[in-house]
Chain A
Amino acid sequence: GENVEQHPSTLSVQEGDSAVIKCTYSDSASNYFPWYKQELGKGPQLIIDIRSNVGEKKDQRIAVTLNKTAKHFSLHITETQPEDSAVYFCAASERTLGRLYFGRGTQLTVWP
């Protein structure tokens, strides 16, 4: 099955700086790559996703890039704010209705 690796496991940044989280996947058939944010005491919530026919997608301060050849994708958060502090998970799926394979998560801390 698919194997998703996520780095780093923890990330601390100063408010206003950028944060980058990277993931790699193993199955070249994967074609859907969502990112989830989990705040303390809550379930994960989708923040952005990308499909394999697109190289980059942006939504305000967050962006995701995908390199299908290298099998890696990244989450970029610019102008970080304390409320961005959370655990972030990347995931991959070989079909949009199929199961998701998750990375182990990144604890992002944004210091004011």
Chain B
Amino acid sequence: DVKVTQSSRYLVKRTGEKVFLECVQDMDHENMFWYRQDPGLGLRLIYFSYDVKMKEKGDIPEGYSVSREKKERFSLILESASTNQTSMYLCASTGTGTAFFGQGTRLTVV
């Protein structure tokens, strides 16, 4: 069974904090993605990676960065969390076309 695991289901952070969201996949997939999901806006792509140490900006990269030091792990970093980054964050990995998602991290910035 393919597994994409996100490190936390729920997180509460303070404004200005540096926040790390971790994602690990066990299927040796090359491609990994970070999305945020907001009501009425669907899934918006923040960053993606096609290979280790490689990253590409998605549609809404402002305020975020990523790290991919190992093939199985893709981290999303909020350099200085703000209240408008309160959202559901979803990690995904793809093999031969099918994207597999993690369970999501609901982040609240107060």
Contacts from A to B (Cβ < 8 Å): 6, 9, 32, 34, 36, 41-46, 49, 89, 91, 93, 96-100, 102-105
Does B43 contact A99, Cβ atoms closer than 8 Å?
Answer: no
Q: Told that A89-B42, A100-B99 touch, could you supply 14 new A-B pairs with CB distance under 8 A?
A: A32-B97, A34-B99, A42-B103, A43-B92, A44-B90, A49-B97, A49-B98, A89-B43, A97-B31, A97-B94, A98-B31, A102-B42, A105-B42, A105-B43
Question: How far, in angstroms, from A91 to B44 measured CA to CA in the complex?
Answer: 12
B74 interface residue (CB < 8 Å to A):
no
Q: How far is the CB of A75 from chain B (nearest CB, A)?
A: 15
Contact check, A43 vs B104: say whether CB atoms are below 8 A apart. yes
Residue of A nearest to B48 (CB): A99
Question: Which B-chain residue is minimally distant from A105 (CB atoms)?
Answer: B42
6 contacts between A and B (CB under 8 A): A32-B97, A34-B99, A91-B99, A97-B30, A97-B31, A103-B42
Q: Is the CB of B43 within 8 A of A45?
A: no
Q: Give B contacts to A, CB under 8 Å.
A: 4, 30-31, 33, 40-43, 45, 48, 58, 90, 92, 94, 96-104
CA–CA, A56 and B37, complex, Å: 29
Whether the pair A43, B98 counts as a contact (CB closer than 8 A) is: no
Question: Inside 8 A of A104's CB, which chain B residues have their CB?
Answer: 40-42
| CB-based contact A102/B90 at 8 Å | no
Q: How far is the CB of B103 from chain A (nearest CB, A)?
A: 5
**B42–A46 touching, CB < 8 Å:** no
Judging by beta carbons under 8 Å apart, are A43 and B103 in contact?
yes
Q: Are B96 and A96 in contact (CB under 8 A)?
A: yes
Chain B residues contacting A43 (CB-CB under 8 Å) are 4, 90, 92, 101-104
List the B side residues contacting A34 at CB < 8 Å.
97-99
Contacts of B90 in A (CB 8 A): 43-44
